[in-house]
Amino acid sequence: MAKLLLKFNAQLLKEIPLDQDILSVGRKPDNNVVIDHPAVSSHHCRIVRRADGFVLEDLDSTNGTYVNDKRVLKVALRDNDVIGLARHALVFVEDKRPAAVQEKRPAAVGEETLSLTPKEAGQAPKAAAPAPEPAPAPKFDKIGGLRVLKGIVGEVEYELKGLSTYIGKSDRVQIPIKGAGLFGAAPEVAASIHHKPEGFLLVAVSDGYPVVNGTKVRGQILLNDGDLIECGGTMLQFFLRDA
């Protein structure tokens, strides 16, 4: 059975079997695959099953749908194609084994999308087992934060409490910035900061828009205590303190 691998910055989040004729992707909860990211449209794209394979269709999304880094409106999917959605990716995997030898998994009651962990993939169905204890939340030695030096829109200081924090002019982000500045109108989502075991990682959602210590950021960068982050007309200073 064909499936999708949902990834964020190369980290596998879930596996999604393509076991229905139409699978929709977007930000709103009525989609089969929900990506709660401001840069993803309410109904961003869909994957349609045809007699000869699967076709990806963009649904007039604001920021576009990309396959292997090329913007597309409608395209037939091939094995290992990478569908780009903001900082997320859906990797299309086509299982060409005969149906008789493919694993059959019962659908979860009341669920349209079944998520598989890597450990579960390839294993035969087993009898229901007691639910495992939830994994403990990761513990960090340092607490990070952002201090607004220029262009105050909301608070003067923000503590980076979650594992991911978004910066931009959208009303869905945690840290709002001014709508215009030296580099023109601010994007809905300019950057995100992710708390990793190695520290705080700033990811440029809009490549080249965030500036750290005078250098435009493309891709990602590990933040250091005292770094200055400029997003349009807003200047932020990153700080660390003991947890």
∠ CA(42), CA(48), CA(53), 5° rounding? 145
Q: Tell me, what's the pLDDT at 34?
A: 86
For the full predicted model, state whether its pTM sits above 0.85: no
d(CA 85, CA 80): 16
Q: Tell me, what's the pLDDT at 239?
A: 95
**Residue 134, exposed/middle/buried by CB under 10 A (0-12, 13-18, 19+)?**
exposed
The region that residue 80 occupies, defined by phi over 0 for left and psi between -120 and 50 for alpha, beta otherwise, is left
The series of mean pLDDT values per 10 residues for the chain, 243 residues long, is 83 85 91 85 93 92 88 92 87 69 41 38 46 52 89 86 83 77 67 88 85 91 94 91 81
Q: Tell me, what's the pLDDT at 6?
A: 86
Q: Tell me, what's the pLDDT at 104?
A: 45
Q: Tell me, what's the pLDDT at 82?
A: 92
Q: 142 and 161 in contact (C-beta within 8 Å)?
A: no
Q: Tell me, what's the pLDDT at 114?
A: 36
Q: Tell me, what's the pLDDT at 97?
A: 54
Residue 100 phi/psi, 5-degree rounding, is -65, -25
H/E element holding 109? Answer: none
d(CA 98, CA 102): 7
